[in-house]
Amino acid sequence: MAIATPTNPPSSPTLPIFSGRLLIRYRICLAYYYYTYHTNEPDLRYLPPHCTPDINREILVQRAWRMLEQAQKHIDMRLRKYVIINEISQATFHPHYILLAQIAILQAKLLLFFSRFVPGQDQASALLPTDRFVGQQRTKASTHWGQLYLAEKARLYAAADGDSERYACYAATQCWLHLMTAYADPTDLHLSAPLNSPNAQQGRVLSLQKCRDWAKTLRDHALISYADIGRRYYYQMKEKSGLPRHTSPDPFGPYDIERMPAIYEARGHDYDRLYQQFSQQFSTTGDDLWVWDMALLTVNPDYLPRLSPKHPKQTIYLFGTSACYLFFARGLYLLCSDRFTEFTDGQKREILPVEIRTDPRRQWDYKLNHATRLLNLAWAIAEEGCQIQRSSDHASNATSRLRITRPLSMGDRSNEYSSPEVNSVRDLYPHRINEIADLGKIFAATCLALRLYTVASEQHPSLVKDIQLLLNTLHGETHLTPIAQELIAGQPRYNGHLAHHFTRIKRILLDFIGHSATSPEQQSRIELTRPVDKATSELGNIIAQHRQTLLQKIFSTILYPYP
């Protein structure tokens, strides 16, 4: 394998390539570009290679898949070269398994968001072991089984590399893929056997309960694997915090990052009281202080079952940008499960407050409120925080340094959704993890929509306003200042490749809000015509049914956004 040098004349020598890692990385990067490219991009300079301005999403997905297949072939070729020289051990050194994991996880995303566009029967090389077809169309069962198969490959490759942070992220991703599958129609999970199989009449069936059980196990795996990483990030933040804000910022490449203020750790009711106290103090004196709710940002390892010999003995801290994957998995699992608390299978169990144990409506409100807070943390961490501006010393210099500041207050964000947990981490990470930033908002809004059935009618207007604020900030357009747009090459918004998904999901949620406007009347009618015990039980069943219907619609739209 060789690549021609760019020099003339044509008779110039070629440059031999042995490893091929750069070629593999290039193809993975190009596949991501095909995957995320916004088809309405007005600037043709950013058109993907070998594409015309009228390119559509189907062709982009197919080319992304083809690039990943080419990357896989280069990995196989690289492995064969090391076998020939009898150095197999070097072939599987880092980054061999990471490259395989990156290919598998991107294939899983393509199958998740654009299953109908992924190459199928007409291209034999694109077939997965789970693929079954009706004509040229991939079946729903093969879509569900295929994305779980690819996510499992990615997780195991990350484990083989020994990258615990990547493993935790992939395990969390696999968790919410199982949750989506758990809300599918059971008939869509029956994978028929291949026609040439001796047991062609049997096939394979994936039960909904098994999907939920696997989701819980994968969530626990992700938390346990993240323990050491999260603790290290926590100590780094504690070390860097508490210095005067007016002192010189921390340099990081071409950026000057404002120092972190002092941190105050609290839990539960103490957090609520202290957050209000310090928020008022900030508004009057301007003193900076970060108040963290450690009940949300940490996990007691005794709440988790012992899944490995190396079970954490100390508190698990969920810090670092990758923690957004874990918060998303935690929040979505709590929303989708039939339990009212997160952790029920460890040495210790979370306990519901005494005053709500006999009231299903308050139990559901407790559950949905906690899930909302977890999902809020997911998108607030994933969304790029801070504000960026040119350094005042070099404002007119095109090559000047950029200054990243941490406002710590809503300021000009008054038209955006706000909550204590969001404000506590919003300006912590000047980094964006694209899809979680918007998916977290969608499912946080879903929790708020379901709370319309659990709270008093007086609270409905504020809930509806919060839902609308969350949905209006999808794609992160409100954060794109002129300097930020300049740094991302004029990109008008994030997640443009999922615009069709988000438009349909917003319509689903807004329709749900409209239909739930009569819920207080329905609830009062139930309470007046039923004994207390039966009324509260019936309300719990109504909420569960609404959750089932709403989540099925959203998950189905994510999988099949195009008619």
User: Where does a domain end: 288, 319, 350?
Assistant: 319
Specify the pLDDT at position 385.
79
62 half-sphere exposure, CB direction, 13 A CA radius: 13
- Decide if 210 is inside a domain: no
Bond preceding residue 95 cis, omega within 30 of 0: yes
Q: Which residues pair with 133 in a beta bridge?
A: 138
Half-sphere exposure of 179 (CA within 13 A, CB side): 28
Tokens linked to 276: 């209000």
- Tell me, yes or no, whether 54 lies in a domain: yes
Q: Assess whether 248 and 312 both reside in one domain.
A: yes
Nearest to 491 by CA among 480, 504, 502: 480
**Pair 560, 115: CB distance under 8 Å:** yes
Kindly state whether residues 63 and 104 are assigned to the same domain.
Answer: yes
- Three-state DSSP class for 255? strand
Q: Token digits for 38?
A: 């916004």
Do 238 and 343 have their domain in common?
Answer: no
Question: Tens-of-pLDDT digits for all 563 residues of the chain?
Answer: 333 434 444 444 554 566 688 899 999 999 999 999 988 877 788 888 888 888 999 999 999 999 999 999 999 988 888 888 888 888 788 889 999 999 999 999 999 999 999 987 665 555 788 888 766 678 899 999 999 999 999 999 999 999 999 999 999 999 999 999 999 999 888 888 765 665 544 668 888 999 999 999 999 999 999 999 999 999 999 888 887 767 778 888 888 888 888 888 888 777 777 777 766 655 444 457 788 899 999 999 999 999 888 899 999 999 999 999 999 999 999 999 999 999 988 778 888 888 888 888 899 999 999 999 999 999 999 998 788 888 765 555 555 788 888 876 655 566 788 888 888 888 888 888 989 999 999 999 999 999 999 999 899 999 999 999 999 989 876 667 777 777 777 777 888 899 999 999 999 999 999 887 655 545 544 443 444 455 556 888 899 999 999 999 999 999 999 87
Name the residue type at position 32: Y
Tracing tokens 């930020």 back to the chain, one arrives at 484
Long-range contacts of 50-59 (CB under 8 A, 24+ apart): 57/114, 57/117, 57/497, 58/114, 58/117
The reply to whether 350 and 497 lie within a common domain is yes
One domain, residues 30 and 121: yes
Domain assignment present for 1: no
- 109 in a domain, yes or no? yes
Edge-first strand listing for the sheet containing 255-257: 250-252, 255-257, 402-405, 387-390
Hey, what are 400's tokens? 């000047």
Q: How far apart are CA 327 and CA 44, in angstroms?
A: 38
Query: How many domains does the structure of the chain reveal?
Result: 3
Contact 261, 290 (CB under 8 A): yes
Q: Does residue 265 lie within any of the structural domains?
A: yes
Same domain for 336 and 309: no
CB proximity list for 469: less than 8 A, separation 6 or greater: 415, 416, 417
Judged on CB neighbours under 10 Å (0-12, 13-18, 19+), 43 is exposed
Question: Could you tell me if 451 and 332 lie in one domain?
Answer: yes
Residue 552 CB contacts under 8 Å (≥ 6 apart), including other chains:
183, 184
Cβ partners under 8 Å of residue 55, min gap 6? 37, 39, 47, 48
Whether 341 and 245 map to the same domain: the answer is: no
Question: pTM of the predicted model, to two decimals?
Answer: 0.90
Q: What is the pLDDT of residue 332?
A: 98
Half-sphere exposure of 137 (CA within 13 A, CB side): 5
Instruction: Based on the fold, state whether residues 388 and 497 are members of the same structural domain.
Output: yes
Which residues fall within 8 angstroms of residue 449, CB to CB, at 6 or more apart?
Answer: 463, 467, 509, 512, 513, 516, 550
Tokens linked to 356: 């709500």
Q: How far apart are CA 141 and CA 206, in angstroms?
A: 9
Strand segments, DSSP code E, in 355-488 are 387-390, 402-405
For 330, the domain range is: 325-392+431-562
408 lies in a domain? no
Residue 3, beta-bridge partner list:
15
The answer to whether position 164 is within a domain reads: yes
The sign of the CA dihedral 205, 210, 216, 220 is negative
Residues 305 and 337 in one domain: no
Would you state the pLDDT for residue 459?
A: 92
Alpha-helical (H) ranges within 286-354 are 294-297, 323-336
Q: According to the model, what pLDDT value does residue 109 have?
A: 97
Q: Are residues 306 and 342 in the same domain?
A: no
Question: Chain-centre distance of CA 186, in angstroms?
Answer: 25
Same domain? For 94 and 157 the reply is yes
Report yes or no on 397 lying in a domain: no
Task: For residues 504 and 155, give the distance between their C-alpha atoms in angstroms, rounded to a whole number.
Answer: 30
Please give the DSSP secondary-structure letter assigned to residue 248. Answer: P
Alpha-carbon distance of 375 to 368, in angstroms, equals: 10
Last residue of a domain, one of 284, 319, 354: 319
**Cα–Cα distance measured from residue 66 to residue 40, given in angstroms and rounded to the nearest whole number:** 22
- Please state, in angstroms and rounded to a whole number, the distance separating the CA atoms of residues 347 and 552: 33
Segment holding 3, helix H or strand E: strand 2-4
Q: What would the 3-class secondary structure string for 181-193 be?
A: HHCCCHHHHEECC
